[in-house]
Amino acid sequence: MTELPNVHVRAEVLAQALPHMQRYDQEIVVIKYGGHAMGDRAAAEDFAEDIVLLEQSGLKPIVVHGGGPQIGKMLDRLGIQSEFRGGLRVTDEATVEVVEMVLAGSINKQIVGWISAEGGRAIGLCGKDGNMVRAKRAMKTVKDPGSDIEQVVDLGLVGEPEHVERGVLDAVLKAELIPVLAPVAYGADGQTYNVNADTFAGAIAGALRAKRLLLLTDVPGVLDKDKKLIPELTVEDCRRLIADGTITGGMIPKIETCIYAIDQGVEAVVILNGKVNHAVLLELFTDYGAGTLIRRG
């Protein structure tokens, strides 16, 4: 008689997943899918499988995607020169047209296609649809390297969420569809704004009081000063680690998004490596967290 050890192992894994599935049954989970994390086709297909499995298991997943690397490539292909201020790209009228084309067009429909190929029913939207997200112009501050004085930098048509109208998403989720959202939105002035995908995902998660917000990126999570993963943090821990210089650079705005989402009612946020196979399933359906979990404390 042929032994079936792998089958028994798989059955055990499924049994262990049951309490996690019950915890998230009918709960909203917002997943931010980063531009670098979506660069590998096989990893993208694994991600799509994860999203379909979440929906089939009774969760209500919402995908928010970025696309910085893809935007950069398209700008280069079209010969559009980017201006940088304080190390940040300025979004002018020509650039925002490309941003909208890449994010709300090619990338958005590509992700919808991947989910559909795995048997899911996804719908691609952006912040403009149904006036879902209204944005305002974002003003960033950067430190002058010479004087260490903070200066306000005008990044043009870069926006930040000002208001989320949840009615569209409620209707989509009620229809048992998976929303795939591009972070492009109108302002009150009728102008199109490019919104940071992390910030956009945080605003969506907060408005819908999501059970979890997952920020998929290209690093394992929050690292300590010895570059070791910190598995769990409170909001107070995050503020302390920013103050003492442990959390620096691009991780600071991610952590600020986490704190904002938790303040808005999200139970917990996880920063994890989107390049790990089935990272979403590992985080939600197993006892082994795949990144750094951040709670109120």
Question: Is 206 annotated in some ligand binding site?
Answer: no
Place of tokens 């795949």: 290
Question: Is 120 annotated in some ligand binding site?
Answer: no
Q: Please, what is the Cα angle at 158 between 146 and 295, to 5 degrees?
A: 85
- Comparing C-alpha atoms, which of 60, 96, 58 is closest to residue 75? 96
**Taken in order 62, 64, 70, 71, is the CA torsion positive or negative?**
positive
- Comparing C-alpha atoms, which of 171, 49, 69 is closest to residue 111? 49
CA 103 to chain CA centroid, nearest Å: 13
The Cβ-side half-sphere exposure at 26, using a 13 Å CA radius, reads 1
Show Cβ contacts of residue 192 under 8 Å, excluding neighbours closer than 6 positions: 96, 100, 128, 157, 184, 185, 186
Residue-level pLDDT at 286 = 86
Mind listing the pLDDT tens digit of every residue in the chain (297 residues)? 455 557 777 787 778 888 888 888 999 999 999 855 566 788 888 899 999 999 999 999 999 999 888 898 999 999 998 887 766 678 999 999 999 999 999 999 999 999 999 999 999 999 999 999 999 998 887 766 666 777 788 889 999 999 999 999 999 999 999 999 999 999 999 999 999 999 999 999 999 999 999 999 888 999 999 999 999 999 999 999 999 999 988 899 899 999 999 999 999 999 998 888 888 998 999 887 789 999 997
Q: Round to whole Å and give the CA distance between 183 and 188.
A: 16
Question: Does residue 258 contact residue 202 with C-beta atoms inside 8 Å?
Answer: yes
Q: Round to whole Å and give the CA distance between 68 and 45.
A: 20
Residue-level pLDDT at 274 = 85
Q: Round to whole Å and give the CA distance between 30 and 181.
A: 10
Residue-level pLDDT at 1 = 46
Question: Is 134 annotated in some ligand binding site?
Answer: no
Domain at 24-295, CATH class = alpha beta
Boundaries of every domain in the chain:
24-295
Global confidence as pTM:
0.91
Question: Is 89 annotated in some ligand binding site?
Answer: yes
Q: Round to whole Å and give the CA distance between 43 and 63.
A: 15
